[in-house]
């Protein structure tokens, strides 16, 4: 009984740890996507201004 709970919490522990790291990696990826979008926007702004 205690053994099962023990093991369960141990897995929760490892799971929680890696979840936190994965969430951070995902947030980095999201930030990368936003940066690319902003780059596109700025590029288009430059092209427009150069045409003028």
Closest CA to 11 of 3, 24, 22, 27: 3
Q: How many residues bind other proteins (CB under 8 A)?
A: 28
DSSP secondary structure code for residue 12 in this structure? H
Report the distance separating Cα 35 and Cα 27, nearest Å.
Answer: 12
Does residue 1 touch other proteins according to CB under 8 A?
no
Question: Two tokens at 41?
Answer: 């926007």
Compute the least distance from the CB of residue 32 to other proteins, in Å. Answer: 6
Residues that bind other proteins (CB under 8 A): 2-3, 5-7, 9-10, 12-14, 16-17, 20-21, 24-25, 28, 31-32, 35, 38-39, 42-43, 45-46, 49-50
């Amino acid at each position: 009984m205690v053994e099962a709970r023990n093991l369960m919490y141990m897995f929760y522990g490892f799971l929680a740890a890696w979840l936190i790291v994965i969430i951070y990696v995902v947030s980095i990826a999201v930030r990368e996507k936003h940066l690319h979008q902003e780059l596109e926007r700025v590029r288009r702004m430059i092209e427009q201004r150069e045409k003028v």
